[in-house]
Amino acid sequence: MNIAILASVIVFCIWLAYEIRKHNKQDKKVLDSFWEKEQKANATRAKSLDSLNYIEIPESVYNALPSPLPADLEDTAKLLQHLKENKIVNLSHITNTDLKLKYGASNLDTLSAYDQNYITLLRVLQTLSDYHYERGNIDTARTLLEFAVSIQSDNIGTYKMLAKIYCDSGENAKLDYLISAASLLPGLTQKPILRFLKSLRPEDTDSEESILDILD
């Protein structure tokens, strides 16, 4: 084998071994840090949950249930009744470890139930919005969708339907409101929602600057 090629192979092997060792050390450091934080979280005593941002369901949502109740909304009505009797909090942007650190390990199951109620609420709102939109009850659908946006729904369908309602009613300027709301979403759906909404906004719009534009 050519000496130059052999030397290159040796150098490459040394470099590769170094990189592997470096990444292994980094991975171990990250893992150790995680377990240290998790251990501390598991030892955190229970704290008051009074400071949580509890979501109150407005009467307009309950009134959106049609009477008589159609069969395809019976499950939705049961879920809504469950939500009426339980607490709702959006905790989707906080890890379980951080929840335990902030509120105590023994509160995790309670907090998880609150967050599951939030997810259920978003599903109920979308189901009712779809029902009313398909039947031409645009004002009711709009009210439901706007409430969903106000509690930081990250459902792409919510933004698409509400954007269509605004555009169909000639309220294109309200797309900036949706863009501002979507720009504050912490989840992975933020970018596709923003891309969709910005694609609908006319280039010559004279509306106010959105929060996203300001941050950019």
- How confident is the model at residue 44, as a pLDDT? 85
Q: At what angle do helices 108-134 and 138-150 cross, to 10 degrees?
A: 160
What pTM did the predictor assign?
0.77
Residue 22 to residue 111: CA distance in whole angstroms: 38
- How confident is the model at residue 39, as a pLDDT? 74
- How confident is the model at residue 63, as a pLDDT? 96
CA quadruple 46, 49, 53, 54: dihedral positive or negative?
positive
Query: 173 CB contacts (<8 Å, ≥6 apart)?
Result: 205, 207, 208
- How confident is the model at residue 203, as a pLDDT? 59
Residue 169 to residue 172: CA distance in whole angstroms: 8
Summarize pLDDT for 191-210 with one digit per residue, the tens: 999 999 999 876 544 444 44
- How confident is the model at residue 18, as a pLDDT? 65
Give CA separation, 62 vs 106, 121, 145, in Å: 33, 12, 14
Give domain limits for the chain: 1-43, 47-215
Q: What are the structure tokens assigned to 193, written together?
A: 């929602």
Return per-residue pLDDT of the chain as tens, 216 residues.
Answer: 566 666 666 766 776 676 677 666 666 665 656 567 677 777 788 899 999 999 999 999 999 999 999 999 999 999 999 999 999 999 988 899 999 999 999 999 999 999 999 999 999 999 999 999 999 999 999 999 999 999 999 999 999 999 999 999 999 989 999 999 999 998 788 999 999 999 987 654 444 444 444 333
The residue assigned the tokens 């470890």 is: 97
Residue 200 to residue 6: CA distance in whole angstroms: 59
> DSSP per residue over 54-66, as a string?
PPPPPHHHHTTS-
Residue 183 to residue 5: CA distance in whole angstroms: 53
- How confident is the model at residue 35, as a pLDDT? 63
